[in-house]
Structure 1
Amino acid sequence: MKSHLLIGSCLLVLLTLAGCSRDDGAAPVAASARAPEKVVNVKVATVKRSDLAETFTLPGSLEAWQDLTLAAELAGAVRWTGPEEGARLAAGAEILRIDPETAKANLDQARADCDLLGKQLDRVRQLHGDGFASQQELDSAASSYAVAAAALQRSQVALAKSSISCPVPGILDRRLVERGEYVAEGTPVARVVQVDRLKVQIDLPEKDVPFVRVGQTVTVQPAVLNGTAPGARSGTIRHIAYNPDPATRTYRTTVEVANPAGDWRPGMIVRATFLRRTLDQVLAVPLYALLEREATRLVFVEEGGIARRREVTILAVVGQQAVIDTGLEGGERVIVSGQQLLADGAVVAVVAVEE
């Protein structure tokens, strides 16, 4: 019995010594296993107050300022054609003539008749004054002269109508008849387009109507063709429809844009940029600096090599900038790259500063 107790006491002592030796060796191992804190490389941008212009862009199409189809005002054969298609015309330039010989002959006859009846009226008026012609004869002579004068005026109008002229400065887009062709009254004979200025027709959504007014400047940019983007031009709003399109609930808006060289053509697709509002002295950060965690929008700012979490609220989004309402005061160095996996208090190293 005593031998068993002696053996048990020895084992207890040995186990106690072994446990102490293990505890003494574990402390240096744990201390050596502690890894240095990870440093995250980031890019930052300093938040400053500035003015931002909030714009919106809508598609539109170009139309000629005036697109006129000229028609024959009297029947006859086309005797003369002038400018060729594509010619640039001044207002009043003659395009073609329709049977001017007949019109001129009718005018000469009407003028002769009017002259004759005018002389007869003078003689009857003199005889009536001397008491040799009755009032009825005077009235008859006056009536005949008035009829002749009206016929003369009609002949003058007919001669003028025999010449088809350009009513506005423009381009002869198409000539629809040829020399020798007979045309009836009302037959389309030419198409003229005025393109030294153009109309941009845009369908304006109802929500944007309060921000747009007649006389406002708009930036017009044609579509990119063959990899080439023509330069943008300024236009002016000339009209905003009062009645909406019943199908789209949009308001047809007309923008005037200068086209002195005629290089923009009707039918081209363009983009028109309107100013919605100007935000004065606001704080804004790039959209890609924003994070959303647990339905909260936030950014990280760098303070002495430490990332600090800041919850923010957004007032508006202007282009690629988020306008900050609350959460920043200005002057902070917002982390714009490398923030996706950061936590509050993380150690960071600034490797670049964005302007």
Structure 2
Amino acid sequence: MRPSSSSPHKSGMFSMPLYLLLILLLAGCAQEGPGESAPESPATVEVKRTNVVVETVTTRDLRELLTLPGSLEAWEDLLLAAEIDGPVRWRGPQEGERVQVGEPLLRIDSDSRQAALDRARSEAELRTVSRDRLRRLRDEKLISPQEYDNAAAAQDAAAAELRQAQVALEKSTLYAPINGVLDKWLVDRGEYVTAGMAVAELVQVDRLKVLLEVPEKDVGFLTLGEKVSLTPAQVNQTGGEEFSGEVIHLAYKADPLTRTYTAKVEVANGGGRLRPGMIVRVSALRRELPGAIAIPLHAVVDQEGRKLVYVAEDGTARQRDVRLGSVIDGRVVVEAGLSPGEALLVKGQHLVNDGSPIVIVEP
């Protein structure tokens, strides 16, 4: 039987299309690549926004203060000296005690001075009696005028000796010339001192003074009689009691080295809570700023010499150039560039640019 010739022909016709189809399918898979997907639609892309904190810009009345450092000094700081020579026989108050004007502090050889005074007084009394007796004899023409003149001269000399002895006795006792505190003794009891030798230190503390060095740019803000406040420096503490003072002197001439003007402030210290040597801060009113805009200092962005801030507008950050003034209590006065009611960026402002999308997370 003859084999059919149509079987091989039919097999070739069906196998060729299947092969081509397989090649096309593999080529399509190779073009797409593993893990790739079709690009997203522009409507599905999410815009990245920066989280910020804002503060509403407001106006307020401000007082700008001039604050200068200084140290308290005693109103009078006296170094008392002996006026006569001799040993110290007595010392009165103890160091640190308050004394009143006229109170005796120390006596120098007062016993011998008293004895000298007694002798001088007796001699003066004797010379006075002798002069008076000779005056009567002269009047009766019983003695010559020369004898009376000699007696009168002797009485005058005795009177001078008496006055000198009285002064020496007075100087043997050292009296307090002011109300104050006996700060320190410089001699001991029994020690021999000479005239002019320092024996004690006395300070007046019921009122004190502060000497301030005022810069040239600030001297125009101080006036004589102006009331100021003083706050003692606190060590490891916050705050501090405030005291009042008054400007009683302001130099007209600047120091040639420091170019500052010396101001003297008087401070009442009746309670004795202040002490000479304490460091204080003196504050005086420089000027008042009614209706001023003041913002946190950290809200300002310094960009190549420009002072910038950012405000929130419709979900975006908007840049503002500002002109700044004084810094008062950690806030800087804005003289131009901001308006009341605007939402100022106080956190996140360094992460945005003009027009950057933002999200307010804390008003």
TM-score normalized by structure 1?
0.79
- Given residue 182 of structure 1, which amino acid in structure 2 is its aligned partner? Y
* CA–CA separation in structure 2 for the residues paired with 1:320 and 1:226: 21
Match of 1:11 in 2: none
Q: CA deviation at 1:306?
A: 4.2
Amino acid aligned to 2:162:
L
Structure 1 residue 99: Cα displacement: 0.9
The reply to whether residue 189 of structure 1 matches residue 199 of structure 2 is: yes
Tell whether 2:44 aligns with 1:52.
no
Amino acid at match of 2:360: V
Q: In structure 1, what is the equivalent of residue 351 of structure 2? A: 341
CA distance in 2, matches of 1:175, 1:29: 95
Kept in 2, the 8 Å contact 1:46–1:332? The answer is: yes
Distance in 1 between the 2:218 and 2:254 partners? 13
| 2:320 maps to which of 310, 318, 322 | 310
Which stretches in structure 2 are left out of the alignment for 5+ residues?
Answer: 1-27
The CA deviation at 1:72 is 0.8
Among 101, 111, 131, the alignment partner of 2:121 is 111
Equivalent residue number for residue 6 of structure 1? none
Question: Which amino acid letter does the alignment assign opposite residue 29 of structure 1?
Answer: E
Range with greater deviation from structure 2 (184-193 or 266-275): 266-275
Tell me the CA shift for residue 138 of structure 1: 6.1
Q: 2:324·2:332 contact (CA, 8 Å) conserved in 1?
A: yes
Please state how far the C-alpha of 1:71 moved relative to its aligned partner.
0.9
Equivalent residue number for residue 10 of structure 1: none
Q: Which residue of 2 aligns with 1:325?
A: 335
Amino acid at match of 1:183: V
What is the CA distance between 1:139 and its match in structure 2?
Answer: 5.6
Residues of 1 paired with 2:165 and 2:130: CA distance? 21
Greater displacement, 242-251 / 97-106: 242-251
Matched, 1:285 2:295: yes
**Paired residues for 1:195-206 under 5 Å:** 195-206=205-216
After superposition, the CA RMSD in angstroms is 3.2
1:121 touches 1:141 (CA, 8 Å); kept in 2? yes
Residue 13 (structure 2) aligns with: none
Deviation at 1:287, TM superposition (A): 1.5
Which letter does structure 2 place at the counterpart of 1:41? N
1:30 is the counterpart of 2:11: no
- Look up the SS of the partner of 2:170 in the other structure: helix
Q: Which residue of 2 aligns with 1:218?
A: 228
Q: State which of 86, 101, 110 in structure 2 corresponds to 1:100.
A: 110
Measured after TM superposition, the shift of residue 84 of structure 1 is: 1.7
1:119 positional shift: 4.1
Structure 1 window deviating more from structure 2 (228-237 vs 129-138): it is 129-138
In structure 1, the partner of 2:264 is: 254
Which residue of 306, 310, 319 corresponds with 1:300? Answer: 310
- Say which one has the larger Rg: 2
In the alignment, the residues of structure 2 paired with residue 351 and residue 142 of structure 1 have an alpha-carbon distance, to the nearest angstrom, of 109
Deviation at 1:78, TM superposition (A): 1.1
**What is the alpha-carbon distance in structure 2 between the residues aligned to residue 298 and residue 315 of structure 1?**
14
Q: Secondary structure at the match of 1:113?
A: helix
Larger CA deviation: 152-161 vs 286-295: 286-295
CA spacing shift, 1:328–1:225, aligned 2, 3 Å: closer
Equivalence for 1:208 = 218
1:266 to 273, 276, 282: 276
Q: After superposition, where does 1:51-90 map in structure 2 within 5 Å? A: 51-90=61-100
In 2: Cα distance, 1:269 partner to 1:316 partner:
25
Conservation of the 8 A alpha-carbon contact between 1:57 and 1:271: yes
Aligned to 1:67, what secondary structure does the other structure show? strand
Deviation of 1:86 after TM superposition, in Å, equals: 1.8
Q: 1:43 aligns with which of 53, 70, 81?
A: 53
- The separation in 1 between residues aligned to 2:198 and 2:304, in whole angstroms, is 70
- C-alpha distance in structure 2 between counterparts of 1:135 and 1:337, whole Å: 111
Cα displacement (A) at 1:73: 0.3
TM-score w.r.t. structure 2 length?
A: 0.77
- Give the secondary-structure state (helix, strand or coil) at the position aligned to 2:351: coil
State percent identity of aligned pairs: 47
SS in 2 for 1:29: coil
Secondary structure of residue in 2 paired with 1:168: coil
Segment of structure 1 superposing worse, 250-259 or 224-233: 224-233
Deviates more, 1:75-84 or 1:314-323: 314-323
- 2:50 and 2:351 in contact (8 A); partners too: no
Cα distance 1:49–1:114, how it changes in 2: closer, same or farther (>3 A)? farther
Q: Residues 67 and 284 of structure 2 are in contact (CA less than 8 Å); yes or no, is this contact kept in structure 1?
A: yes
Q: Deviations over 1:164-215 (max 9, x none)?
A: 1221122222112222221111111111122233222332223322222232
How many angstroms apart in 1 are the aligned matches of 2:238 and 2:171? 46
1:276 is matched with which residue: 280, 283, 286?
A: 286
Q: Is the 8 A contact 1:197 1:260 kept in 2?
A: yes
Q: Is the 8 A contact 1:222 1:229 kept in 2?
A: no
